[in-house]
Amino acid sequence: MIIQIAYDMTGIQINLADVTARPDNVPTVELTGCRPLSPVRMEHSFTDDSGTVWRSYANMYADTFGSASNVSTPSHQGTYRDIDPLGFAWSMIPVDAEAAPTLAERYKRYPSTQPAFRNPYGPIDITMTAYVGDQKVASAIYERHQIAPDIDIIDVNDDGLRGVYYAPHTPTKKEGIIVMGGSSGGIDRYWARHVASLGYNVLNLAYFNYPGLPDTCTQIPLEYFKKAIDWLKHRTGTDRVGLQGASRGGEAVLLIASTFPDDIACTVSYVPMHVMTGGFVPGKTDSISAWTLKGADLPYAYTPVPTAEDCRARGIDLSRGLPVVPFFFDLIDEAEKDENAWIPLEKATAPILMITARDDAIWACSHGAERALDRIAKYGGTAKAEHLAFDGAGHILPPTGAITSLSTSVYHEHAGLLIALGGTPAVNAHAGDKAWQRVAQFYAENLA
């Protein structure tokens, strides 16, 4: 929704098109009335509830008609470069983070990597400003939605089940989708609102690090996920549900689809592994089982917890943070020898979409997805499985419109060091956009 457009006597104006109320919407922004071939600067900004100003900008040259646009005009300097229709969205970054003396300090200041809002569902007022030199010549304000309107948002605290339920007033399909996050715990902060905004009933499921749940991803009963499946089936009046998870959640949804195949309509797994990895408690180097079934710990592959000294001893570059993936590769051969540690995907029956990143610095997810496909073929599994891998992308592949300026690393407060996630902000954004388009199509194909 466009709130306000203003321009001065120069006749320069900001025009917006393709504005919708979905969170994956990135509008077309055009500046008109400029002097032909003149330099202009376009800036987008907003202030979050912590008082932090987030900003993206592009220095451009108007064309021969005196126009400049995010879909047709290259940025020669700014928070993004070249022609990039998504650039204003993904490259937003806290103004003071741009000036941080080191990468570690930048992430230390903003460990969540995303804006802070007390209401994560309310619209964000984005201010667009155009400059010629230092002179402000035009401005406009529009609302960027974090979730589509006409969706009921319901806290779930039911017989030990915790999360948030999103119920569109007019659902696209009857079958709902369970969405879960990764190793940070809590509820998902990227995809659930986007999936609900497509018109699906969504249970944004927490499974640890949330009030009333375990603090860490250790010895989580798979029966908890079955309870969530049954809850959503009852709520929607259907026999099956969709699953979506990322990272540790990506591992979880593959395991759930293999354990309760009759309940699953389809599964989307972002950056997963093909083996069950260990759970761990911060400050401890020994891992333990992340999952249990019928009261028994499930086998798992040893999960490395490397230190900066381990990396330096091997000559590993720490400028982008500590990468865990080299140590995973060290252990993969040994881990794959333990048949019981593999996720038994041959038992899954519903379609599976695995999305991975070849520059993932956390773990070898692209290798893991390929090995998962090998296992399905080796044991005669019936699930139709697809693997979509992105070169140069890292562990964070958020949906269209998300901010990725802080997606290449994360500051680990307990360890006091920077952890590498991989990729670049631009590659992560565009890979996430392409992945999101396929996910939306995948749900349309496989949910009833």
Residues 299 and 408: their CA atoms lie apart, in Å, by: 31
Q: What is the pLDDT of residue 54?
A: 95
Per-residue pLDDT of 398-435, as tens digits, reads 999 999 999 999 887 656 678 899 999 999 999 999 99
CATH 3.40.50.1820 residue ranges for the chain: 151-446
Q: Where in the chain is the domain with CATH 2.60.40.2240?
A: 2-144
Q: How confident is the model at residue 3 (pLDDT cuts 50, 70, 90)?
A: low
Predicted pLDDT of residue 282: 67
State the average pLDDT for the chain: 91
Is residue 5 scored above 60 in pLDDT? no
Quote the CA–CA distance of 278 and 301 in Å, as a whole number.
6
In angstroms, rounded to a whole number, what is the distance separating the alpha carbons of residues 421 and 393? 9
| pLDDT bucket at 9, cuts 50 / 70 / 90 | very low
Helices 222-236 & 248-259 angle (0-180, nearest 10): 70
The strand order across the sheet containing 28-32 reads: 13-17, 28-32, 68-69
30-48 pLDDT, tens digit each: 999 999 999 999 999 999 9
Report the CATH superfamily, name and number, of domain 151-446.
Answer: Alpha/Beta hydrolase fold, catalytic domain (3.40.50.1820)
Average pLDDT over residues 308-331: 85
The string of pLDDT tens digits covering residues 250-291 is 999 999 999 999 999 999 999 999 999 888 776 665 678 999
Q: What top-level class would CATH report for the domain 2-144?
A: mainly beta
Rounded mean pLDDT, 233-244:
97
Residue 185 has pLDDT above 70, yes or no: yes
What is the C-alpha to C-alpha distance for residues 153 and 141, in angstroms, rounded to an integer?
A: 26
Distance CA 248, CA 279 (A): 10
Nearest to 344 by CA among 388, 369, 381, 370: 381
Rounded CA gap, 115 and 54, in Å?
8
Q: How far is residue 252's CA from residue 217's CA, in Å, rounded to a whole number?
A: 11
* More confident position, 109 or 428: 428
Q: Strand 220-221 relative to strand 291-293: parallel, antiparallel, unpaired?
A: parallel
Structure tokens at 148: 């589509």
* CA proximity to 270, closest of 310, 243, 302, 288: 243
Top pLDDT among 111 and 315 is at 315
Closest by CA position to 272, among listed 186, 343, 340, 187: 343
Checking DSSP bridges between strand 53-61 and strand 39-47, what pairing results, if any?
antiparallel
- Confidence band for 7, pLDDT divided at 50, 70 and 90: very low
Closest listed residue to residue 271, CA positions, set 178, 329, 357: 357
Residue 54 phi/psi, 5-degree rounding, is -100, 135
What is the CB neighbour count within 10 angstroms for residue 80? Answer: 24
How far, in Å, CA of 107 to CA of 417, rounded?
10
Distance CA 306, CA 34 (A): 55
- The whole-number average pLDDT for the span 158-187 is 95
**Dihedral, 65, 66, 71, 75 alpha carbons, nearest 10:** 130
Mean pLDDT for the stretch of residues 55-80: 96
Triad 110, 272, 341: Cα angle to 5°: 125
Phi-psi map region of 436: left, alpha, beta (phi>0 left; psi -120 to 50 alpha): alpha
Residue 219 · residue 291 · CB < 8 Å = yes
